[in-house]
């Protein structure tokens, strides 16, 4: 069930609540076991959702989840204040440093990473013209919510708080979350960056990773030294339901402390490259080859693959020559056969080791690499010991010796056509040299 919180102390919250009731087929209910000021009295239910109203400003409220009947996700309708212009945004709540605006210091409500990603998409779907869409770092209270939760906000000043189109968009986005899981298998904590978390929004939009709590630069500055804030850091991971993090910026001490706590620091590139690849496969192949940050890339075969791998060395000379001929085609050839492969030059050129689903895939990979050479060489043959590539090159000195000087006949002969000089036919083979190059392949 989706729990929706409306605060009478927030005009935007009330406005969104009104739009919610206009949109849904709600049943008016009464709860006399809880004071009206604390979510009791009149409340509303519709399929998959329940809406309750509280007197206190939500950021200072306590026990917001208590009146609801075992909710799976709690969304708080709220205003957003700032100089950002018309904006639809959402964030989990928590304080890395002192609790100046509700909640406890060094504490966090339980985040809802998958629902947050769903809200970003819903905002995109429903945002009125002129409104931006964003996500924010974790800030303010409450911090005692043990249900996955988010503030869902309409901003950024009075004009938008009173805007029916904006309030309706937020209401529609909230209702879209009725069938959305609060969490997913792939979620992480974010550290660093700005309040509006552009790096983490990119991750949410462009990978299959969701983001829980984000402690922006200003939040980390408010926090004690990382070595003195291990409990706070641990809570950020626990309340995000993850052991992974991306850190925006260097922050070497923070990285070291997080690693000492047993959590894994990964990069934005890592989230991109592991998208679609089972984590069990990632965790199996990185130790056998290299890490993503060292250049490991996953191939097409890795999508959804969970099983054993055969690790081989890419045929170095063949792979290098294929990359010289066509880098993109070479990478595509390797990616098309591999579970994972090592690279150089920023992930563009395959080089080093490759992991394959079967031993037979290696022979297919060699054939594909040989195919790349065909655009440069006249003949390419795959043999047991390697690949043989042949180029026939024009010998201008031989042409001159046979009486073919510069001119049209010289050009035709160089292009592989026979020509006639002084009544004698000169075949292309007489002035072309056959050069053979062998690229060894070690087979097992």
Q: Is the pLDDT of residue 350 over 90?
A: yes
- Residue recorded with tokens 């000492």: 260
Tell me what percent of the residues of the chain surpass a pLDDT of 70: 99
User: 345: helix, coil or strand?
Assistant: coil
Tens digit of each residue's pLDDT (9 = 90 or more) over 9-52: 999 999 999 999 999 899 999 999 999 999 999 999 999 999 99
Give yes or no for a contact between 244 and 191, defined as CB atoms under 8 angstroms apart.
no
| Closest C-alpha to 422, from 403, 407, 406, 409 | 403
Chain CA centroid to CA 34, Å: 43
In whole angstroms, what is the distance from residue 195 CA to residue 137 CA?
5
Q: Is the pLDDT of residue 393 over 70?
A: yes
Tokens representing 391? 């180029």
Q: At what angle do helices 113-126 and 164-175 cross, to 10 degrees?
A: 140
Q: What average pLDDT does the segment 381-404 reach?
A: 84
Q: Is the pLDDT of residue 130 over 80?
A: yes
Q: What average pLDDT does the segment 392-402 reach?
A: 74
Q: Is the pLDDT of residue 404 over 80?
A: no
Q: What is the pLDDT of residue 397?
A: 72
Q: What average pLDDT does the segment 432-441 reach?
A: 89
- Residue recorded with tokens 């090592």: 342
Whether the upstream peptide bond of residue 141 has omega within 30° of 0, thus cis, is no
Sheet with 379-383: list strands edge to edge.
Answer: 379-383, 386-394, 432-440
| Closest C-alpha to 94, from 194, 189, 193, 201 | 189
Whether the upstream peptide bond of residue 377 has omega within 30° of 0, thus cis, is no
Give yes or no for a contact between 380 and 395, defined as CB atoms under 8 angstroms apart.
no
| Confidence class for position 339, pLDDT limits 50, 70, 90 | very high
pTM, full prediction: 0.89
What average pLDDT does the chain have? 95
Q: Is the pLDDT of residue 398 over 90?
A: no
| Confidence class for position 431, pLDDT limits 50, 70, 90 | low
Q: What average pLDDT does the segment 360-383 reach?
A: 96
Cα separations (Å) of 275 from 16, 41, 284, 357? 35, 46, 15, 19
| Confidence class for position 145, pLDDT limits 50, 70, 90 | very high
Q: What average pLDDT does the segment 115-140 reach?
A: 98
Q: Which stretches does DSSP call E strand in 193-291?
A: 210-215, 244-248, 264-266
In whole angstroms, what is the distance from residue 95 CA to residue 97 CA?
5
Tens digit of each residue's pLDDT (9 = 90 or more) over 242-274: 999 999 999 999 999 999 999 999 999 999 999
Tens digit of each residue's pLDDT (9 = 90 or more) over 231-241: 999 999 999 99
Written in H, E and C, the secondary structure of 26-93 is: CEEEEECCCCCCECCEEEEEECCEEEEEECCCHHHCCCCCCCCCCCCEEEEEEEEECCCCCEEEEECC
| Confidence class for position 409, pLDDT limits 50, 70, 90 | confident
| Closest C-alpha to 229, from 193, 252, 251, 257 | 257
Cα separations (Å) of 439 from 197, 295, 316? 49, 24, 8
User: 156: helix, coil or strand?
Assistant: strand
| Confidence class for position 410, pLDDT limits 50, 70, 90 | confident
Q: What is the pLDDT of residue 230?
A: 98
| Closest C-alpha to 201, from 92, 116, 127 | 116
Tens digit of each residue's pLDDT (9 = 90 or more) over 173-194: 999 999 999 999 999 999 999 9
Q: Is the pLDDT of residue 85 over 90?
A: yes
């Amino acid at each position: 069930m989706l729990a929706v919180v409306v605060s009478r102390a927030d005009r935007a919250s009330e406005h969104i609540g009104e739009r919610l009731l206009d949109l849904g087929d709600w049943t008016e209910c009464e709860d006399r076991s809880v004071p009206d000021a604390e979510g009791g009295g009149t409340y509303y239910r519709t399929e998959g959702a329940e809406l309750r109203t509280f007197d206190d400003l939500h950021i200072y409220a306590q026990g917001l989840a208590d009146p609801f009947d075992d909710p799976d996700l709690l969304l708080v309708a709220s205003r957003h204040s700032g100089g950002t212009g018309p904006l639809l945004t959402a964030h989990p709540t928590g304080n890395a440093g002192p609790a100046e605006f509700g909640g406890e210091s060094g504490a966090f409500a339980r985040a809802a990473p998958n629902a947050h990603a769903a809200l970003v998409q819903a905002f995109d779907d429903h945002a009125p013209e002129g409104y931006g869409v964003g996500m924010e770092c974790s800030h303010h209270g409450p911090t005692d919510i043990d249900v996955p939760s988010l503030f869902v906000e309409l901003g950024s000043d009075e004009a938008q708080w009173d805007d029916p189109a904006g309030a309706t968009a937020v209401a529609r986005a909230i209702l879209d979350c009725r069938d959305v899981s609060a969490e997913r298998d792939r979620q992480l904590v974010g550290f660093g960056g700005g309040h509006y978390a552009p790096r983490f929004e990119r991750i949410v939009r462009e990978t299959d990773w969701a983001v829980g709590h984000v402690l922006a630069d200003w939040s980390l500055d408010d926090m004690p030294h990382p070595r003195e804030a291990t409990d706070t850091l641990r809570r950020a991971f626990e309340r995000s339901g993850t052991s992974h993090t991306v850190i925006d910026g260097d922050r070497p001490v923070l990285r070291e402390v997080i690693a000492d706590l047993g959590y894994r620091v990964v990069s934005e590139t890592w989230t991109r490259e592991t998208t679609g690849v089972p984590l069990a496969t990632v965790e199996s192949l990185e130790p056998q080859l290299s890490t993503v940050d060292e250049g490991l890339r996953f191939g097409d075969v890795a999508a959804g693959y969970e099983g054993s791998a055969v690790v081989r060395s890419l045929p170095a000379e063949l792979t290098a020559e294929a990359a010289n001929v066509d880098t993109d085609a070479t990478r595509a050839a390797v990616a098309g056969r591999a579970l994972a492969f090592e690279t150089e030059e920023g992930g563009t050129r395959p080089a080093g080791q490759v992991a394959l689903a079967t031993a037979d895939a290696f022979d297919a990979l060699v054939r594909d690499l040989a195919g790349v050479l065909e655009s440069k060489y006249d003949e390419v043959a795959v043999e047991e010991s390697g690949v043989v590539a042949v180029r026939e090159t024009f010998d201008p000195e031989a042409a001159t010796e046979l009486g073919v000087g510069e001119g049209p006949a010289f050009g035709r002969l160089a292009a592989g056509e026979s020509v006639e000089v002084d009544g004698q036919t000169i075949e292309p083979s007489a002035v072309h040299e056959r050069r053979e190059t062998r690229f060894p392949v070690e087979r097992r």
